[in-house]
Amino acid sequence: MENALLVGLSRQTTLERQLAVIANNIANVNTSGFKADQPLFEEFLTSGAHEDNFVGRDRRVSYVQDRGTYRDMSQGSLQETGNPLDLAIDGNGFFVVQTAAGERYTRDGNFQVNTQGQLVTASGDLVLGNSGPVVFQQTEHDINIAADGTVTVVDANSPADSIRSKLRIVNFADQQQSLTKDGGNLYSAANPADAQPDLTSTIRQGYLEKSNVNSVAEMTRMVEVSRTYAQIANLLQQQSDLHKNAINQLAEIPN
């Protein structure tokens, strides 16, 4: 197969991957705390041509190589909900939750209290404080969560506010390297020891962090990628027709 066809196919492969990333971003435009993915590509050069009559840049062929994705960890805008169990992190920290697979990290603060009085995520994972899961008693009400994550309640059996827990907020020195998307708007860490207490982020009670996906930009990118894919497909078809015509003409040359 000639180089033009191989180069075109390598580009189509990366465009297909890019389209999948864009589609996932658009699907999560309304997911609280979601961080957009961006594809990474690079130029890949084959070894030099084997024939000596190629000179300069003609001795190499450039392909497109998919290097993976990186996450845009910029903070999304904060939306006021008025729900005391909705929490947003103003800063770079993460909530810590306990799942069946172990500790995970999330920016989605859409929490609720289950039938056992435990503070949980929308999917039922336990939200962790510095001393374990955050648990409320049936006699407690008026939950208040301070900017530093301290959880206080009003107990019907006590005239004074009671400190129930303090939310565990962590951060990572290198979020791109340490964290991996684990599904369900959760992140896992290859080395849990990388999770260090975050003393700079603050908690906003009654708010949710919106997705940082720019829907208009993503839709524009989707159109551009689709058009580019169609243009390359047309180019490959032209190359194929050119080869076919050349073979047919060569076949008609008399011996």
Please give the pLDDT value at position 1: 47
Mean pLDDT for the chain? 85
DSSP characters over 32-56: TT---EEEEEEEEEPPPPSSTT--G
pLDDT in tens, 121-151: 999 999 999 999 999 988 888 899 999 999 9
Torsion region of 251: left, alpha or beta (phi above 0 gives left; psi -120 to 50 gives alpha): alpha
Q: 194-218: per-residue pLDDT in tens?
A: 999 999 999 999 999 999 999 999 9
Q: What are phi and psi of 118, to 5 degrees?
A: -90, 140
Q: Is residue 22 helix, strand or coil? A: helix
Please give the pLDDT value at position 38: 87
pLDDT tens per residue, range 227-239: 888 888 887 777 7
Which one, of 101, 112, 118, lies nearest residue 184 by Cα? 101
Per-residue pLDDT of 37-52, as tens digits, reads: 988 765 555 555 455 5
Grouping H, G, I as helix, E, B as strand and the rest as coil, residue 188 is strand
pLDDT of 73 higher than 60: yes
Helices (H), 92-214: 175-178
Over residues 76-103, the pLDDT tens digits come to 999 999 999 999 999 999 999 999 999 9
The total of other beta-carbon atoms located within 10 Å of residue 127's CB is 25
94 touches 170 (CB < 8 A): yes
The predicted model gives 215-226 an average pLDDT of: 92
Query: Which uninterrupted H or E stretch holds 225?
Result: helix 215-251
